[in-house]
A and B are shown apart, each in its own frame.
Chain A
Amino acid sequence: MSSPSLPFLQVENLARAYPSPTGGDDVTVFDHVNFRIHKGEFICVTGHSGCGKSTILNILAGLDSASAGNVFMDGREVSGPSLDRGVIFQSHALMPWLTVLENVTFAVKSRWPSWSKQKIRDHAMRYIELVGLKGAEHKKPSQLSGGMKQRVGIARAFSIEPKMLLMDEPFGALDALTRGVIQDELLKICAETQQTVFMITHDVDEAILLSDKIMLMSNGPHARIAEIVNNTLPRPRDRSVVHKHAHYYPIRNHLVDFLVSRSKQFGSLRDAPGAPSSPTVFDPSDLVESEPAVVPAPPVGKPHIHLVNA
């Protein structure tokens, strides 16, 4: 409990229960969720559907409230939505009656109501250009492809310069090619802006490419953050060479292994005597330095695995 610098975001003993559909005791989706995020960190969260990832994100956003526990950001308790926390929704959530530019200026004007029209417009255009949508600013969302819509969502979220960005499977609905392009853009923008990010993803490769840390959630009910993986791959990262790094496959195998088997076992182990009360931390640098030979040869042309669980 004695971190040198106070964490930017601190989540303490968060829990969420819903009334049971059958009328019995409440169903606890997750409990004892503790984690911290430092300024400028990119955190990915992964786990099977229904374990409560979206619920945690919505609590961080202030859109939902916890049954127990607290969230502190910058030393202040999070109690409702705020311009300090930008959200990128999976369904992009653009307003279809507004153009691309109007969607972004709507956000900018919310953030800086006293700015002049011109200043709001210029600011919005900067972010529209940043996501490569210059020229499409007067189009309506219905005229855009899925990838372009999500880019508008990104531009809108970044344009308010939030202290923290929350993303709920932002690229889940996109095809693999488009997803790759937008991931690269996100990587670039985050490097430029030093944005603190909390992102939910089902895509192991996406998590490895983007994150500093990956939090792994066990299956619910009573889901927890079971493991934390330190992503030691050096930045700047390039998707075409990132898999050549010695730490890539240890991390990847660890993640896939967790999702395929350990996520289920965790529930039964949790209450066993001597079970770890805080998440185990996996750091590939420990592993690789002691046993460099363990690194498996990367299979050639390994496809992008997208773990969507049923």
Chain B
Amino acid sequence: MKTRLSLSQKSALLSLALFGVILLVWQLTTLPEAKVVADGIDPEYAALMGGGASTAASSFPTPAAMGQTVWEKLSDPFYDNGPNDKGIGIQLAYSLARVLGGFFLAAAVAIPLGFAIGNSRVVYAALNPYVQVLKPISPLAWMPLALYTIKDASASSIFVIFICSLWPMLINTALGVANVRRDWLDVSRTLEVKPLRLAFRVILPAAAPTILTGMRISMGIAWLVIVAAEMLVGGTGIGYFVWNEWNNLSLTNVLFAILMIGVVGMALDSIFGLLGKRVAYQE
């Protein structure tokens, strides 16, 4: 071999090989059942025992069947045939809307509040006990309270997302603001920079990388929590879809939904990764 592979080429090849191995193992582990059917057992008996055509729905799918499902679902993602039969695109859109709604509400509260906490030792000390007690509560524990007070399933899941995205953003904003270099504040003071300009032109850009890290963590948690929340309240969304397909005993659809949750989660994370790069600075 004359040309040496670059590092990224090597890892891409390895990734691809790994994918091949996974497919192979998957194929091999799901194969025998089909073989048994082919090997001289009466097809009718097999059908009675849960094999044959109906097994495709309930037993673990082969990679080929999976591939076909992925293809079918993705080629028509936005169909709507009533409450229990919507395209994957619609379900994901419901979940995303809730996550983004709760997340941005949380950002609207956490970032100004984080500024206040980071700027003042008094506010920090006053609010710290609340944050310490509220932070470790599983966001789903709020669900009954939310359902009772808000009386709307969808709004309740938005509230749960709000609660779970609040803490990382709040804590990171306070941390970023409190750790703005003394020098930059001193320069601003000698330039008689007005408070609002100081907040937006000095403190915000200085704390932005830390704040964005908090937002990224929040978004990750929100995406984890939305699936559970939607399983709980039902109706619409990717979480409900997973639960519904489990009740339908369609493992293929469950697997497909899991794959989609992963892909969307990765996309959300990389958006915040990119935003983080945009505001990063090198001292």
Rounded to whole Å, the gap between the CB of B275 and the closest CB of chain A is: 14
Asked if A96 is an interface residue, CB under 8 A from chain B, the answer is: yes
Asked if A194 is an interface residue, CB under 8 A from chain B, the answer is: no
Asked if B283 is an interface residue, CB under 8 A from chain A, the answer is: yes
**Known: A97-B281, A142-B283. Is A91-B190 also a contact (CB below 8 A)?**
no
Q: Are B190 and A61 in contact (CB under 8 A)?
A: yes
Asked if A48 is an interface residue, CB under 8 A from chain B, the answer is: no
Closest 5 CB pairs of A and B: A93-B183, A110-B191, A142-B282, A97-B281, A81-B189
Which one of A38-46, A82-90, A220-228, A257-265 is at the B interface? A82-90
A83–B208 alpha-carbon span in the complex (Å): 27
Residues of A within 8 A of B (CB): 61-63, 80-83, 85-87, 89, 91, 93, 95-98, 106-107, 110-111, 140, 142, 160
A95–B204 alpha-carbon span in the complex (Å): 12
Q: Are A82 and B183 in contact (CB under 8 A)?
A: no
Asked if B206 is an interface residue, CB under 8 A from chain A, the answer is: yes
**Known: A91-B183, A95-B202. Is A85-B281 also a contact (CB below 8 A)?**
no
Instruction: Produce 1/0 per residue, B250-283, CB < 8 A to A.
Output: 0000000000000000000000000000010111
Q: Nearest chain-B residue to A110 (Cβ)?
A: B191
Q: Which of B182-220 contact A (CB under 8 A)?
A: 183-184, 186-187, 189-193, 197, 201-202, 205-206, 208
9 pairs across A/B with beta carbons < 8 Å? Answer: A63-B190, A81-B192, A93-B181, A93-B183, A93-B184, A93-B186, A106-B201, A110-B197, A160-B191
Chain B residue contacts of A140, Cβ below 8 A: 281-282
**Known: A110-B193, A140-B282, A142-B282. Is A97-B187 also a contact (CB below 8 A)?**
no
Q: Are A82 and B192 in contact (CB under 8 A)?
A: yes
Residues of B within 8 A of A (CB): 181, 183-184, 186-187, 189-193, 197, 201-202, 205-206, 208, 279, 281-283
Rounded to whole Å, the gap between the CB of A242 and the closest CB of chain B is: 32
**Known: A93-B184, A106-B201. Is A111-B283 also a contact (CB below 8 A)?**
no
Rounded to whole Å, the gap between the CB of B39 and the closest CB of chain A is: 69
Q: Are B281 and A142 in contact (CB under 8 A)?
A: yes
Q: Are B186 and A110 in contact (CB under 8 A)?
A: no
Q: Nearest chain-A residue to B280 (Cβ)?
A: A97
Q: Are B191 and A96 in contact (CB under 8 A)?
A: no
Chief secondary structure at chain A's binding surface:
loop
Rounded to whole Å, the gap between the CB of B205 and the closest CB of chain A is: 5
Chief secondary structure at chain B's binding surface:
helix
Q: Are A93 and B187 in contact (CB under 8 A)?
A: yes
Give which listed residue, B190, B197, B206, contacts A82 with CB less than 8 A. Answer: B190
A83–B274 alpha-carbon span in the complex (Å): 38
Q: Nearest chain-A residue to B279 (Cβ)?
A: A97
Q: Nearest chain-A residue to B204 (Cβ)?
A: A97
Q: Tell me which of B190, B206, B282, B283 has the highest count of chain A C-beta atoms within 10 A of its own C-beta.
A: B190
A160–B181 alpha-carbon span in the complex (Å): 22
Given A87-B187, A95-B205, 7 new contacts (CB under 8 A): A83-B191, A89-B183, A91-B183, A93-B183, A96-B281, A106-B201, A160-B191
Rounded to whole Å, the gap between the CB of B215 and the closest CB of chain A is: 18
Q: Nearest chain-A residue to B202 (Cβ)?
A: A95
A142–B189 alpha-carbon span in the complex (Å): 23
A97–B205 alpha-carbon span in the complex (Å): 7
A269–B208 alpha-carbon span in the complex (Å): 54
Give which listed residue, B190, B197, B202, B208, contacts A81 with CB less than 8 A. Answer: B190
A87–B191 alpha-carbon span in the complex (Å): 9
Q: Are A63 and B193 in contact (CB under 8 A)?
A: no
Rounded to whole Å, the gap between the CB of A79 and the closest CB of chain B is: 13
Chain B residue contacts of A93, Cβ below 8 A: 181, 183-184, 186-187
A80–B283 alpha-carbon span in the complex (Å): 28
Q: Tell me which of A85, A106, A142 has the highest count of chain B C-beta atoms within 10 A of its own C-beta.
A: A106
A95–B205 alpha-carbon span in the complex (Å): 9
**Known: A107-B191, A110-B193, A111-B191. Is A89-B283 also a contact (CB below 8 A)?**
no
Q: Tell me which of B187, B208, B281 has the highest count of chain A C-beta atoms within 10 A of its own C-beta.
A: B187
Rounded to whole Å, the gap between the CB of B135 and the closest CB of chain A is: 30
Chain A residue contacts of B190, Cβ below 8 A: 61-63, 81-83, 85-87
Chain B residue contacts of A81, Cβ below 8 A: 186, 189-190, 192
Chain B residue contacts of A86, Cβ below 8 A: 190
A87–B197 alpha-carbon span in the complex (Å): 20
Q: Nearest chain-B residue to A157 (Cβ)?
A: B190
Rounded to whole Å, the gap between the CB of A162 and the closest CB of chain B is: 9
Rounded to whole Å, the gap between the CB of A59 and the closest CB of chain B is: 13
Chain A residue contacts of B193, Cβ below 8 A: 110
Rounded to whole Å, the gap between the CB of A250 and the closest CB of chain B is: 37
Q: Are A95 and B206 in contact (CB under 8 A)?
A: yes
A81–B181 alpha-carbon span in the complex (Å): 18
Chain B residue contacts of A61, Cβ below 8 A: 190
Rounded to whole Å, the gap between the CB of A103 and the closest CB of chain B is: 9
A224–B202 alpha-carbon span in the complex (Å): 37
Q: Nearest chain-B residue to A87 (Cβ)?
A: B190
Chain B residue contacts of A80, Cβ below 8 A: 189
Rounded to whole Å, the gap between the CB of B187 and the closest CB of chain A is: 5
